[in-house]
Structure 1
Amino acid sequence: MIALDDTDRAILRALAHDATQSAGALGRRLGLSQPACWRRIRRLEEAGVIAGRRLVLDLPQVGFGVTVFLGVKLAVKGRVSFEDFERAVAAIPEVQVVQHVLGLFDYRLRVRARDIADFERVLRRRVMTLPGVGQIEANVLLSEERLPGPLG
């Protein structure tokens, strides 16, 4: 863990808002030279504070119009069943996120599909046949609003 000063925090906020900014442009906004800004960004990356940069797609534009969150409760719990489930679910391309959670369900999955019929196919042929699956609850995403900032 590294100590972050106000300039580091300003860099993180700016990159969280728009990760495509150049070090030169970002430096000018923050009153730093391009090399100084680049060194700070590099230090934050090397320390693991910046774990990567990602591209956010407009999913309906690329053919994925439905997002469904699945709660999955395993029928049999244990180290082997968790590992078997995680290994199998990782092979399903429509499953974008797998979260091992505490609560009513053991896992929360985010599944992307072209439409409801495509989701039903994924659910019946792939998710319901995963090892150890007991109970499933589906919640279809109706709308989503991204919050500004690094956690949004």
Structure 2
Amino acid sequence: MVTLDDIDRRILGELQRDATQSLEVLGQAVHLSRNGCWRRIRALEGAGVIKGRVTLLDPVKLGLSLCVFMMIRTNAHAPDWLEQFSRATRGMPEIIGVYRMTGDLDYLIRARVADMADYDRLYQHLIRKVPISDVSASFVMEEIKETTELPL
């Protein structure tokens, strides 16, 4: 864990909201010089706190209006199965999150697809690549909150 001061937190908060803002605008927002902001950002990148800078896209405008959570159960818990599963899911661009879980589920997958037919193609592709005991899916009817901002 990295120790952050108030200025680091303000910089990170600003960058989470808009990473495209200039160093001048960022400096004004956090009450620091342009160079001071630049040095802190470089230090935060070097410490691995800032992992990357991305552009967030609207999935609906790109024809990916269906968000699905796939609950995966497996009878295989060997390292080679996990590697096969990891390789398969990493290689499927529709899958935007894969999580190993505690409790009744083994894995939870979050995916974005165009429609039910597209989901079925994703499902068929996944079960061809790796043996799975059970897959159930829940489809998002309404996204109430979706954010990439972490609480600081």
TM-score of the superposed pair, with normalisation by structure 1? 0.89
Post-superposition shift, 1:85? Answer: 1.4
Distance 1:32 1:58, change over 3 A: same
Shifted more, 97-106 versus 38-47: the winner is: 97-106
Post-superposition shift, 1:147? Answer: 5.1
Contact 1:75–1:135 (CA<8 Å) still a contact in 2? no
Matched position secondary structure for 1:89? helix
Distance 1:130 1:102, change over 3 A: farther
Contact 1:27–1:37 (CA<8 Å) still a contact in 2? yes
Partner of 1:130: 129
CA distance in 2, matches of 1:117, 1:83: 28
**Structure 2: which amino acid aligns with 1:79?**
P
Aligned residues: 150
Partner of 2:46: 46
Partner of 1:105: 105
CA distance in 1, matches of 2:46, 2:85: 33
The gaps in structure 2 that reach 5 residues or longer are none
Post-superposition shift, 1:32? Answer: 1.2
For residues 49-68 of structure 1, what are the structure 2 equivalents within 5 Å? Answer: 49-68=49-68
TM-score of the superposed pair, with normalisation by structure 2? 0.89
Post-superposition shift, 1:149? Answer: 4.2
Post-superposition shift, 1:129? Answer: 2.2
Contact 1:66–1:113 (CA<8 Å) still a contact in 2? yes
Partner of 1:121: 121
Deviation track 1:96-128 (CA, whole Å, cap 9, x = no partner) reads: 2111222212111112111111112221x2122
Matched position secondary structure for 2:51? coil
1:85 corresponds to 2:85: yes
The gaps in structure 1 that reach 5 residues or longer are none
CA distance in 2, matches of 1:95, 1:140: 14
CA distance in 1, matches of 2:137, 2:127: 12
